[in-house]
Amino acid sequence: MDLLSPIDTIKGVGEKTTKLLNKLGVYTIEDILLFFPRTYLVYPELQAPDKDSVNSLISISGRVKTSPKAFRSKNRMDILSVTAFAGDIPVDMVWFNSNYLKGTFEPGKIYIFYGRLVFDKGRFKMSQPAIFEPEKYLEIKEQIQPIYPLTKGLGNTTVVKAVKEALSHCKISDNRLPKYLEDKNGFMAYSKAINTYHFPDNFEDLVAARKRLAYEEMFFFILNSRLQEDRAVSFPNKFNINHHKETDEFKAGLKFSLTKDQSNVLEDIQSDLMGEYVTQRLIQGDVGSGKTIVAFLSMFDVVLSGYQAAIMAPTEVLAKQHYETFCAWVKESGLDIPVALFTGSMKVSEKKAMQKLVDENQACFIIGTHALISDGRKFGDLALVITDEQHRFGVQQRDKLSSKGSHPHIIVMSATPIPRTLAMILYGNMHVSTIKELPANRLPIKTCVIKESMRPTAYKFVSDEVEKGHQVYIICPLVEASETTEAQNVMDYSKKLKEYFKDQYSIGVLHGKMKPAEKNQVMAEFAEHKTQILVSTTVVEVGVNVPNATVIMVENANRFGLAALHQLRGRVGRGDAQSYCILMNESRDDKQSDRLNIMLKSNDGFYIAKEDLRLRGPGDLFGVRQSGEFSFKIADIYQDADELELASSDVDLILKEDPALENNPDLRSTLNLFLANQFYVL
């Protein structure tokens, strides 16, 4: 079986499964080997159903006394039901559109059922439980089960079988890193790491496999970055950019004063723009620290000097918001400066009109999404390129925007606070500036961590804020219900919320599986106050500025990294009203409670990131991954900070001895595969 063979080469993968896997980016044998689990499941000990276990995923042993009943509901859904007795306690089991299970049960026989226990109308129930023979359950209970990312219609068992088949028929090369590095760092063999990451025998092996793969991923990322730095040419600054009195007059006329950090960063940028060489600068600005006004003032000097300046945003909603903000600020300045906008959903006629505006004006502001880098887009004398929320764009996308000009200055802005030691490793070829201070008019967001028993109080608080005319975000970790993950999901949660509030509020739903146009519409409706409560996954982490939103409630907060929670918290607190962050802690682990309590101590993202790093342990593998930064398959810059620093040190040692890898052809070959997005398997 060849690694580049189509996925349907695998035994048991037919046309339907192939299409579903294709939706997840799995096309070849290689792809399925790199399709790693998102988490793992260890089936629990058997227990009797009781009130303390309601809403939890549990396993029960139940005797089926009668054959299951099959019937069709009013909405034409096939329903199969049977009652299992755990001792004397009846538990109603229900499956939807699963009539094929009808012949599974033998009256009088005992089965193991795994699923979420609920209590409704005086009876215990389980919906869509997994079914096992007692002997089979005892066997798998001792095993760590991989849980893969799925799409509707694709079962976890199907993926498991496909991965096992691929692993059994493919030889994975161990010729990856220099042997002395593997020995020095005590890494397990690469092929074993791949196998173990899919099917670990124990958590100690899983930790070791993950460490090996995360290190290697960051090693090649850093190696490529260092080589690029060494090959980088310092281009002379051919732009005659000056600081203008109109910029100072506009700044003086603002309704707020810039913070010291904002002023310092502006001075850094002005020095870059007027320097001898073209520069690249990273601006790390905490959520709500005011990066947009810094970007505008920087672009203002460029445009007033007779050049074009562009800013690229990750979403249409954010791009449109920048456009409206820039138009308002230009109007306030009293100057007639064109502002152009390019987004994917614009009509062809609208794009042509904007392109004409750019073509006819040597000096203008240009704002857009990925539409800025489309093949047909042309700019004039582009002197400054800014990417907002830079981690949402790949290096190639940023480079493509820069290539629209002739070696323009580059600024990348990030709202994710990274400890400086890590930032210097990851952005070695950039100057780094930091904005920590929040604007003086920003009230600190009040944060609390609560348990399930406080939910009614939290909902009452949400209702009170909505009645005041404010808006609310509610964040869930999942899009849809999962048989294997005990966490809130957007689809079911929004329905329950509508029932709870008896449809008195307008509730929107947002998640990553929606089409871009749908997401844009939902966010636009929330921004325009047409929606009062928005139930969403973390896609709102980088979203529109809604000053009227005063509450964000994060369900299963214990499943998020602190940096991710801090990003989410930054969605509120953007207006004049006091804002609040409610973190729902579902964990019974005291360590998780201590971790979440860090959010109560500070609104400083850099402090939180540092504390998060300090608390991390090697066993914190899943459920706390930070979102946003860098498109690593496995590695996480917070969780794997030690491996990141180790990889950086090892790369420096190699390049000190062999700056161009002339004596390391195998390493060069592996690096080329990494750059070709064939990183893991040779």
What letters, b where the CB count within 10 A reaches 16 and e where it falls short, cover 644-655?
bebbbebbeebb
Q: What is the pLDDT of residues 529-558, one digit of tens each?
A: 999 999 998 877 665 689 999 999 999 998
CATH 1.10.150.20 residue ranges in the chain?
A: 1-38+148-171
592 pLDDT higher than 60: yes
178 pLDDT higher than 50: yes
264 pLDDT higher than 80: yes
- Amino acid at the residue 630: F
CATH architecture group of domain 1-38+148-171: Orthogonal Bundle (1.10)
pTM equals 0.69
Q: Higher pLDDT residue, 361 or 673? A: 361
Question: Average pLDDT in the 301-324 region?
Answer: 91
Question: Average pLDDT in the 640-648 region?
Answer: 88
- Mean pLDDT over each residue of the chain, to the nearest integer: 86
Give the model's pLDDT for residue 627: 40
End-to-end Cα separation, the chain, in angstroms: 13
CB 33 within 8 A of CB 167: yes
Give the model's pLDDT for residue 514: 84
Strand order of the β-sheet with 533-536 is 446-450, 580-584, 549-554, 471-475, 533-536, 507-510
What letters, b where the CB count within 10 A reaches 16 and e where it falls short, cover 443-459?
eebebebeeeeeeeebe
CATH 3.40.50.300 residue ranges in the chain?
A: 245-435, 446-615
Give residue 646's pLDDT band: very low, low, confident or very high (50, 70, 90): very high
Q: Which of 361, 362, 363, 382 is nearest to 373 (CA)?
A: 382
Angle at 473 between CA 470 and CA 478, to 5 degrees: 165
Candidate from 334-348, 518-532, 581-595 with smallest mean pLDDT: 581-595
Question: Average pLDDT in the 349-367 region?
Answer: 94
Give the model's pLDDT for residue 231: 64
DSSP string, 532-570: SEEEE-GGGGS----TTEEEEEETTGGGS-HHHHHHHHT
Give the model's pLDDT for residue 425: 80
CATH pick for 43-143 out of 3.40.50.850, 3.40.50.720, 2.60.40.1930, 2.40.50.140: 2.40.50.140
Q: What gap in Å lies between CA 513 and CA 129, rounded to an integer? A: 25
Question: Which range scores top for mean pLDDT: 227-241, 508-522, 617-631?
Answer: 508-522
626 pLDDT higher than 80: no
Question: Average pLDDT in the 576-598 region?
Answer: 85
Give the model's pLDDT for residue 587: 76
Topology adopted by domain 245-435: Rossmann fold (3.40.50)
Give the model's pLDDT for residue 681: 44
429 pLDDT higher than 80: no
Candidate from 60-69, 362-371, 460-469, 481-490 with smallest mean pLDDT: 481-490
38 pLDDT higher than 90: no
Residue 463, φ and ψ in degrees, nearest 5 = -60, -40
CB 308 within 8 A of CB 382: yes
Give the model's pLDDT for residue 402: 64
Q: What gap in Å lies between CA 128 and CA 616, rounded to an integer? A: 35
CATH superfamily of 446-615: P-loop containing nucleotide triphosphate hydrolases (3.40.50.300)
Q: What gap in Å lies between CA 549 and CA 564, rounded to an integer? A: 19
Q: What gap in Å lies between CA 54 and CA 193, rounded to an integer? A: 38
Give the model's pLDDT for residue 497: 93
